[in-house]
A and B are shown apart, each in its own frame.
Chain A
């Protein structure tokens, strides 16, 4: 703990700022921040506290002290020397916070000189500087569309844009850039008119963005654009994009999308199990679903997809294959088959003690789950009562 010291002269201040103890220097810098007027009153031989600070900012080995010195300097108010120093900090951006401190000072005391730095900083690598710059010039209506787009990716809000090709290109860039999350939210919330022109940039979007679009295909207001991107997605070279397109078909429905089922059917023969399963779900056709559900050589996820589609018309399912599926080695199949049983009108028959006894242990569990999921707990009481009695 260092002893309290009083700074009465500029020389006292200099001596304290040259102290070898970091704590002493930090205390002095805090004191200047707390009483800038008092510090500014210390003058000797035409020099003032700014000169003292400017001579020492770059000699501080520890970043917090350097930043404290910069803050103290800025806190002394507008001054040509300070402005020059801040311009240097803004251009060098030695640290994120140094750039922030500098730009904040310039925004308040030298806005005309700050604007070029802010416009440049909008596209800097440093995200915090981008955000600072955006907050500084967000209300400037004279900025070009590229800058306004970047600002809205950082600071959410409406954006009025005429979608010329260059503007679409800028949006496509943002959707694949560091502020992707903000760009996606902007597109979803504020740019309903952008989807159609953005369609022209489809081939220039990366696979992740194409898949994201397909995940949000309902947000596209124009049905023909929905159809076109899904159709393109079904033919995409990237498997993740194809999966997203098939998932969109399953989620929205082929008729609603206006997509011909002939585009989806070929995927049911894919060697990619996930693609095949999604195609089964997307088609929703009984013949495809039943074939998938009962194909013993199909991967588990394909058979599960089949049974989940069969559940849409549970009463059509033949009892034999369904009963076998309740005892399938894969729990995923057993669970999906149980859901089919839970939806059948003849659920009582499946839980008759004779039918219960005919099932294996896994099948009984599936039947119990079916009864419970159907809200028919009472059906279980006879078979459970027998079990308890035994």
Chain B
């Protein structure tokens, strides 16, 4: 589609009740010539509504100063984070009801607000989170036990206490600068429909395998009764009394059996499965930790692992310098099924030769897994270019021309919809656009300079892809956007 044609259609949205047409893919033949079985059915168009804007009231009585670049949707709930007028970051959830093509905001709750009381302590700043198919928000979070500060010396003497970590109090607003550090407790929480937190995994939990979940949680993804998360690990060697401490990725097949049933899926400090290369045998080529991850039912997962450079030891002389991110994928229920789908050159690791592997590349962001197990990711290369891969196949690359005529430079991680359709936000020198791929053609759904329903301000930046779940089972989209006046908005894209 030519840029002029899209401009024409954009102006036509007034005639079409404010909907932006999802038609006009690139490289597509007339409908009559296409196989009816090929493409995934995408909506005819979308209406993009701002349901939250800067200055709007928050459920805790504060007001939005600005929204952070994340939102997630599922089971009729939308979760998002916002800084309020006091500069504190909080995680909120609203109930969304789409009637007659219009999103209606129902009950709203603030789930966690920075430095407010939470689970016996004080909340820290919220990181990543997720909304599951039942509308439950899942969050790995640390709380400060700051009513009971511990002098640094005392804490250092108990450095092996699982829940204790050192951190400078000055990093957090509102804390007294008195030389104290504060005990931290961390857990993975599930917030039910009433907004009540339930700790489903707590730091310090010994597992049935004999290891200990230490805390320092990374992302946590819940699908039905399954849970995948990363966390610090005290690893008990099966044949000796040796113990190692590092990072691990864990899988709970059935949350009803409790956190102790968590199985270790990956462990830092060892070469990941499929990465082995006899000629490069060394203790240096290790995984040092884990980044973002995704899960689909049946334990199918993909994750980002942090690799070391075997030729460049870090300051301590024994661990390798960070050398980029690996893409690992496997099935948590099948021991040994992990495969390295991509590995940066500096890691010295050999990627899998499976058909869905990418090869030698650095992972630019967290991977995504579609309902059928297809893995999507953004890889970056030493010349700064990026490529989006879906199932090992190239989806888009820096230098490609978008349906609206922009030369693409970078990409947010892909997002998979309920039918397997793929959404990607792509950035060019002057614009961002939300692309959708229906299996046959690529369509632009929203782009810089488009407007939201009932708002004359133009969109300048889109953030769909910063979390996992931006599309619900009905195809409704949720993400945040920056507008051309510098303000932010929580945007709901309603299929029309």
Give me the interface of A with B, judged by CB distance under 8 Å: 22-23, 26-27, 30, 61-65, 67-68, 71, 92-97, 100-101, 104, 125-128, 130-132, 135-136, 156, 177-182, 185, 208, 250-251, 281, 304, 308-309, 311-312, 314, 331-332, 334-336, 338-339, 342-343, 361-362, 364-366, 368-370, 372-375, 377, 380, 383-384, 387-388
**Bound form: Cα–Cα A17–B336 in Å:** 36
Instruction: Name A365's contact: one of B282, B331, B496 (CB within 8 Å).
Output: B496
Residue in B23, B274, B475 whose Cβ sees the most chain A Cβ within 10 Å: B23
Residue of A nearest to B331 (CB): A180
Q: Return chain B residues, CB-CB under 8 Å to A95.
A: 237, 270
Chain B 115-140 per-residue mask, 1 if CB under 8 angstroms from chain A, else 0: 00000000000000000000000000
B278 located at the interface, meaning its Cβ lies under 8 Å from any Cβ of chain A in the complex = yes
Query: Would you call B32 and A68 a contact (CB within 8 A)?
Result: no
- Nearest-neighbour CB distance to chain A for B140, whole angstroms, equals 26
Q: Do residues B316 and A23 form an inter-chain contact, with CB atoms below 8 A?
A: yes
* Contact in complex: A65, B276 (CB < 8 Å): no
* A93: chain B residues within 8 A (beta carbon): 239
Nearest Cβ on chain A to B417's Cβ, whole angstroms: 12
A155 shortest CB reach to chain B, Å? 9
Q: Nearest Cβ distance between residue B348 and chain A, in whole angstroms?
A: 14
- Contact indicator B31/A97 (Cβ below 8 Å): no
Which residues of B from 289 to 341 have beta carbons under 8 Å from A? Answer: 298, 316-319, 331, 334-339
- Contact A128 B36, CB 8 Å, known A96-B270, A178-B337: no
In the complex, the answer to whether A63 meets B244 with C-beta atoms within 8 Å is yes
Q: Which residues does chain B contribute within 8 Å of A179, judged by CB atoms?
A: 336-337
B87 interface residue, CB < 8 Å from A?
A: no
Beyond A125-B336, A132-B276, A362-B101, list 6 extra A-B contacts (CB 8 Å).
A23-B316, A128-B271, A135-B276, A178-B334, A332-B41, A364-B17
Among all A-B residue pairs, the 5 with the closest Cβ atoms: A127-B336, A387-B15, A178-B336, A342-B31, A372-B23
A-B contact pairs, 28 of them (CB 8 A): A27-B317, A62-B244, A64-B269, A68-B318, A71-B282, A93-B239, A96-B271, A97-B271, A127-B273, A128-B270, A130-B336, A132-B276, A132-B278, A178-B336, A178-B337, A180-B334, A185-B354, A185-B355, A208-B298, A308-B41, A312-B36, A335-B41, A342-B30, A362-B101, A365-B44, A369-B21, A369-B23, A388-B11
Q: Which residue of A lies closest to B475 (CB)?
A: A331
Q: Please tell me if the beta carbons of B271 and A361 are within 8 angstroms of each other in the complex.
A: no
Tell me which residues across on chain B come within 8 A of A309, comparing CB atoms.
36
Contact of A375 among B12, B30, B42, B239 (CB under 8 A): B30
Docked CA distance A365–B23 (Å)? 10
Please indicate the chain A residues that have their CB under 8 angstroms from the CB of B43 in the complex: 331-332, 334-335
List residues of B (322-378) whose CB comes within 8 Å of A's CBs.
Answer: 331, 334-339, 353-355
- Chain B: CB-nearest residue to A387: B15
Write out the residue numbers on chain B whose beta carbons fall within 8 Å of the beta carbon of A26.
Answer: 316-318
Q: Which residues of B contact A67 (CB under 8 A)?
A: 283
Question: Whole-angstrom distance between the alpha carbons of A332 and B270 in the complex?
Answer: 48
A250 to B15 Cα, complex, angstroms: 38
Q: Is B430 an interface residue (CB 8 A)?
A: no
Give A370 to B282 CA distance when docked, in angstroms. Answer: 60
- Assembly CA distance A366 to B495 (angstroms): 12
Q: A23-B317, A95-B270 are in contact. Are A180 and B31 (CB under 8 A)?
A: no
Asked if B281 is at the interface (CB within 8 A of a chain A CB), the reply is: yes
B24 touches A372 (CB 8 A): yes
State the CA gap A270–B317 with chains docked (Å): 65
Bound state CA distance, A335 and B402, in angstroms? 23
Q: How far is the CB of B304 from chain A (nearest CB, A)?
A: 19
Q: Which chain A residues lie closer than 8 Å to B36 at the CB level?
A: 308-309, 311-312, 339
The reply to whether B44 and A361 contact each other, CB–CB distance below 8 Å, is no
Whether, in the assembled complex, B434 has its beta carbon less than 8 Å from a beta carbon of chain A, the answer is no
Establish whether residues A336 and B336, one from each chain, have CB atoms under 8 Å apart when the complex forms: no
The answer to whether B276 and A100 have CB atoms under 8 Å apart is yes
Q: Are B15 and A388 within 8 A (Cβ)?
A: yes
B157 interface residue (CB < 8 Å to A)? no
Contact with A along B222-253 (1 / 0, CB 8 A): 00000000000000010110101000000000
> Is there a chain A Cβ closer than 8 Å to B19's Cβ?
yes
Q: What is the chain A residue whose CB lies nearest that of B276?
A: A131
Say how far A113's CB is from chain B's closest CB, in angstroms. 18
| B16 lies within 8 A of chain A by Cβ | yes
Q: What are the residues of chain A within 8 A of B210 when measuring CB–CB? A: none
**A373 pairs with B23, CB closer than 8 A:** yes
Given known contacts A132-B276, A185-B354, A251-B37, A127 and B338 CB-to-CB distance under 8 angstroms: yes
Q: Contact between A177 and B334 (Cβ–Cβ < 8 Å)? A: yes
What separation, in Å, do the CA atoms of A156 and B334 have in the docked complex? Answer: 20
Q: Is B420 an interface residue (CB 8 A)?
A: no
Cβ of B55 under 8 Å from chain A: no
In the docked arrangement, what's the CA distance between A249 and B495, Å?
30
Cα of A363 to Cα of B242 in the assembled complex, Å: 69
User: Closest residue of chain B to A67, judged by CB?
Assistant: B283
* Residues on the A chain within 8 Å of B91, using CB: none
Known: A97-B283, A182-B354, A387-B14. A365 touches B21 (CB 8 A): yes
User: In the complex, A47 Cα to B133 Cα: how many Å?
Assistant: 66
Q: Is B45 an interface residue (CB 8 A)?
A: yes
Q: Is B278 in contact with A135, judged by CB distance below 8 angstroms?
A: yes
Shortest C-beta distance, A219 to chain B (Å), equals: 12
Residues of B within 8 A of A374 (CB): 30-32
B12 close to A380 (CB less than 8 A): yes
Task: Tell me which residues across on chain B come within 8 A of A63, comparing CB atoms.
Answer: 242, 244, 269
Residue of B whose beta carbon sits closest to that of A343: B32
Q: Identify the closest chain B residue to A60 (Cβ).
A: B242
CB of B273 within 8 A of CB of A131, answer yes
In contact, B496 and A331 (Cβ under 8 angstroms): yes
What distance in Å separates the Cβ of B239 from its nearest Cβ neighbour in chain A? 5
